[in-house]
Amino acid sequence: MVRVEFLGPIQKDALELEITDLSQLAAILQADESLHEWLTNSAVALNDTLISSLEGSLKDGDKISLLPPVCGG
Amino acid sequence: MLYLYDGALNVPKILADWYTQEAQSNYGAYIPFIGTVRSEDGIDGLSFDIYEPILNSWFATWQKKAHEKGAIIKMAHSRGDVLLHESSYIAAVFSPKRRVALEFIDAFVEDFKASAPIWKYDLKDGNRRYALERSTAIKGSGLLAQ
């Protein structure tokens, strides 16, 4: 099971998904209309490290986080 | 050194604490930047969410860069609500010489604005509204929209 967390202002509960790669995750999230804008402007972290590619596989216990635009200070 | 607080920062205490901590460290320069909530657009204040795991690793990367220049960084930030004329952010660089500290604080704060996983909301009329138009998408955003 892979956990997907939506951080900051994305008002959505975490998901637990049976997926094995990020392309599957992209397809699932793209089917959710409420996420369309967030998918275009959010960064993605795998186990709390930002990633720059959808390549590679996911394993049981992995955590994906979506990080929308930031503004600290 | 990264310090997170609930609510507004006690700026005089934090600045004095940091000064005391490094008073005998032989740094020639202590350059703080303090961010204060201004009155604009009728807001009552700002509010912040923080994602600590990635903030910690982002900060550690900058601390390593500072060490390579013989400097250190300290940063304090608020969680939750901070009202007008209170402060939510302090960053400071200590270095042997002023030029390194002046250049480093500029680069650090710019990257903080663009990359640190902190989300800002306007407090207005009892509502907490995400400040999307003042926010910056982290480099590499949009991966899952492809």
Mutate to test the interface with B, among A44, A53, A71 (most CBs of B within 10 A): A71
Q: Give A-chain residues touching B111 at CB under 8 angstroms.
A: none
Residue B146 has pLDDT above 90, yes or no: no
Centre a 10 Å sphere on the Cβ of residue A34 and count the other Cβ atoms it contains.
10
Instruction: Convert the pLDDT of each residue in B34-83 to its tens digit.
Output: 999 999 999 999 999 999 999 999 999 999 999 999 999 999 999 999 99
pLDDT of the residue at B36: 98
Q: Cβ contacts of residue A1 below 8 Å, gap of 6+?
A: A16, A17, A18, A60, A61
Indicate yes or no: CB of A41 within 8 angstroms of CB of B141. Answer: yes
Per the structure, the complete domain to which residue B71 belongs is given by 2-134
**What pLDDT, on a 0 to 100 scale, did the predictor assign at position B97?**
94
DSSP state of A27: H
Q: Can you give the pLDDT at residue B138? A: 97
B8: contact with A, CB 8 A cutoff: no
**Beta-carbon separation of A65 and B134 below 8 A:** no
What superfamily would CATH give domain A2-67?
Beta-grasp domain (3.10.20.30)
Confidence band (pLDDT; 50, 70, 90) for A53?
Answer: very high
Question: Residue A52, CB half-sphere, CA atoms under 13 Å: how many?
Answer: 3
What digits encode the pLDDT tens for the residues B86-142? 999 999 999 999 999 999 999 999 999 999 999 999 999 999 999 999 999 999 999
pLDDT tens digits for range B17-40? 999 999 999 999 999 999 999 999
Residue B10 inside a domain? The answer is: yes
pLDDT score at B74: 98
Domain count of chain B? 1
CATH number of the structural domain spanning residue B68: 3.90.1170.40
* Contact assignment for A69 to B143 by CB distance below 8 Å: no
Average pLDDT over every residue of A48-55: 95
Note whether B137 contacts A43, CB cutoff 8 Å: yes
